[in-house]
Amino acid sequence: MPFIPHTESDIREMLAAIGAPDLEALFEEIPAELRSGKLSAVPPGMNEMQITRLMSERAAQDAPLLNFIGAGAYEHHIPAAVWKIASRGEFYTAYTPYQAEASQGTLQVLYEYQTMMASLTGMDVSNASLYDGASGLAEAILMAVRSHKTSHKILVPATVSPVYRSVARSIVRLQGNELVEIPFDRATGTVDMQALAAHAGSDIAALVIPQPNFFGQLEDADALTDWAHAQGALAIGLVNPTALALLKAPGQWGAKGADIAVGDGQPLGSPLSSGGPHFGFICCKQALVRQMPGRIIGRTVDLDGKVGYTLTLQAREQHIRRAKATSNICSNQGLMVTAATIYMALVGEDGLRRVAAASHGNASALAVQAAGIPGVKCAFHGAHFHEVVLHLEKNVAAVLASMQAQGILGGHDLSAHYPELGQVLLVCATETKTEEDLARYTAALRHAIHG
C-alpha cells in the first residue's frame, strides 16, 4: 500500500474523536525534561531532484578501489542470476513465513538452504537463520551453556575476531557467563596449546575453535576438538563457509566431531554493500537441536500425497516460552539466506571448491610477492586460507593511506587489537583478484614503504 499522509482535516477529526486539543496533548505523560524539543540537527526538506542529487553524490563516495580487505567481510564474485532471482517480489518482500500454506516457496528455499548448510558443515541440522556471525557465536555459546548445565565458563582464543569476541561478551556476560581468552603462539598465529593445557581439568562449558582463524591461519581443529571433549566440554567450530569447500567439515573434527558449527554466510552471495547486510548460520548435532535458536523448516506429505513445508521448530519468545526461550531472535535474514541458497545451487560443489582454491592461491602468491619487499615479512608461518598477516617496518596507518591514494584498499590494520605484534596488516585476496591486481598491490605497497 502506498504511503498516504493524513491531511490537516483528518488530524482535526481524529483529535476531536478522542477529545484531545492538539497533537502535543498526546505526549503530555512524558516529563518536560525528557523531551528533546525541536530537531535542530535535521536539515531542511528537499524536493525529489535535490534528494536524488544528494544521494548520487554520497553513492559516488564509494569509489571503486581495488579491495584487499577481509577481516570478516569478503569480496567474492556473485553470479548475476543470484540477485536477479532473489530480488523477485515473492522473495524480495517476503517476511517470516508464519502462514505455511501461503509461504510454500519461501519455506522450500529455507529447507534447501538447511540441507546445503548441514552438508557443508557435516552436522545433523541447520537453522534458518541468524543476524550475523558475531551474534551467531554468542548464540552458540549460550547453547553450550544450556547444554552443559554446570559450567558458565567458555574458552575463546584470541585468534577469534576481536569484533566477534566483543559482541559475544556483550550478549552473554549479563547471564553470568565468563569468556576466558586463550593467547596465541607468536610464531604460528594459532592457539597456544600450552596456555590451553593450563585449563585442563577445570569445569568448562565449551571451547571455541576458529577455522580459519582471524589471522587467516589454520588451527589444529582435530586436536582442539578432542581436547575439549576430554574436558567434558563442547566444541564450537567458528568457520568460513567458503573455506569448508576445501577443509575438513566441523562434523568430522577429531574423534567425535564438533558439537556446533557457526559462522557468517556473507561470502555466499551477499555483496559488501558498504558494510552489510550479513547473515549468520548455526548447525549442530541432533542431540542439541532443542537448544538451537531460530527456526527449522520441515518437509512432510499431506493427505493427498503432496509435499509440503512448515515451520517445525521455532522455540522463540513471542510464542509460548517467553523467558525460557532459547534466544531473543525475533526475525531472520531470510532474503540473504535466499541469495545464499541460489548462490550455492548455481556454483555447486565443484564451483565452490574452485572459488576456495583460487582464493587460497591468490593469497599465497600475494604473500610471496609482498614478503619480497624490503621491510615487509609474513608475521606467521604455517598453513593459511585466503588471508595473511604482514609485518611492516613502517607505520601501517601511513602505508594504508598511501595505498588508498593509489586506488587500493591495502588491508586491515591489526595494531589496535594486537599491539603486541607491532605494525601488522591483515591482507585478503579472493578469487576476484588477477595477476595484474596482485602486481599492482605489490607495487603500491613498495611505493608506500620506500617512496
Instruction: Name the residue with higher pLDDT: 73 or 322.
Output: 73
Q: Which distant-in-sequence residues (6+ apart) come within 8 Å of 61 by Cβ?
A: none
Average pLDDT over residues 136-160: 95
Check pLDDT > 70 for residue 52.
yes
CA nearest neighbour of 264 among 210, 309, 323 = 210
Average pLDDT over residues 421-444: 98
Q: How far apart are alpha carbons 262 and 260 in whole angstroms?
A: 7
Average pLDDT over residues 360-367: 98
Min mean pLDDT across 147-151, 165-169, 337-341, 355-359 is at 147-151
Check pLDDT > 90 for residue 230.
yes
What distances in angstroms separate CA 262 from CA 239, 240, 403, one per listed residue? 6, 9, 34
Model confidence at 276, in pLDDT bands (50, 70, 90)? confident
For residue 332, what pLDDT is reported?
Answer: 63
| Residue 23: Cβ within 10 Å count | 10
For residue 317, what pLDDT is reported?
Answer: 47
Average pLDDT over residues 46-55: 94
Average pLDDT over residues 59-88: 92
Check pLDDT > 90 for residue 269.
yes
Degrees (nearest 5) of the Cα angle 159, 153, 160? 10
The domains of the chain, with CATH numbers, are: 66-75+349-450 (3.90.1150.10), 80-343 (3.40.640.10)
Average pLDDT over the chain reads: 92
Average pLDDT over residues 373-383: 96
Pairing between strand 280-284 and 260-264?
A: antiparallel
Average pLDDT over residues 278-295: 91
Single-letter amino acid code for the residue at 337 = V
Q: What is the pLDDT of residues 4-42, one digit of tens each?
A: 788 999 999 999 999 999 998 998 899 988 887 778 888
For residue 3, what pLDDT is reported?
Answer: 61
| Residue 283: Cβ within 10 Å count | 29
* 26 alpha-carbon distance from chain centroid: 42
Min mean pLDDT across 111-115, 119-123, 182-186, 290-294 is at 290-294
Average pLDDT over residues 353-369: 98
- DSSP-assigned letter for residue 300: E
Single-letter amino acid code for the residue at 289 = V
Degrees (nearest 5) of the Cα angle 306, 320, 301? 10
**The length of the chain, given as a count of residues:** 451
Average pLDDT over residues 394-414: 97
